[in-house]
Amino acid sequence: MYASVILFDLDGTLTDPKLGITRCIQFAISELGHSPPDADKLDWCIGPPIKDSFSQLLNTSEETVLAQAISLYRHRFATIGLFENSLYPQIVETLEAIQLAGYQTFVATSKPHIYATSIIDHFRLSSFFNHVYGSELDGTRSVKSDLINYILLAENLDPTNVVMVGDRSHDMIGAKHNGVTAIGVTYGYGTEEELTTYGADLIARTPDEIARLLI
């Protein structure tokens, strides 16, 4: 495969954020007066825009309710949930190998970029990335297709030279929408069936397989 630029999803691809995300969702739902689901029933919320998840969890499209839920979620996430997170094994070694091979690398996450940057800094991964791209707090660019398009324009990238690495369907959809090659990873929160159904060109079952596919 010829490529010179790699876009990495964050949640479920570089780090396992389950503890923080699920606890913050539970906190928000509880504060709104509802009984929250068990953490293990919230795996599907890891990756997609949080507004979409709350819309399904609360069975509503009412903007004021969703805004309140997101505000409560962020209240806990910004100070506690952000760091209830862990690096997947082999991530550092994988990023080192990709950097040594001369690739440009960017983080491309639906998470607000202010949080994503803090997480990347926390895990001392900043030196591996040219830039961290994410959404705005108002939801702008939380859809992966919009985010990838924004990165391509901002960095003046040729889509045929770019690979998107992610663990969920929206990563694959975003890549295909923008003419970008997609590598789906199955160690995160999406299944191989989900990833291939939505357009994964290649599958990596462990982080080191990403490097082997690219180099």
Contact 189, 47 (CB under 8 A): yes
Specify the length of the chain in residues: 215
Identified catalytic residue from 9, 16, 167, 171? 9
Q: Is 9 a catalytic residue?
A: yes
Whole-angstrom distance, CA of residue 88 vs CA of residue 78: 21
Q: Are strands 202-204 and 181-185 parallel, antiparallel or unpaired?
A: parallel
Cα–Cα nearest to 111, from 39, 181, 171: 171
Across 70-135, where does the E strand assignment appear?
86-87, 104-112, 131-135
Whole-angstrom distance, CA of residue 201 vs CA of residue 184: 8
Question: Which residues are known catalytic residues?
Answer: 9
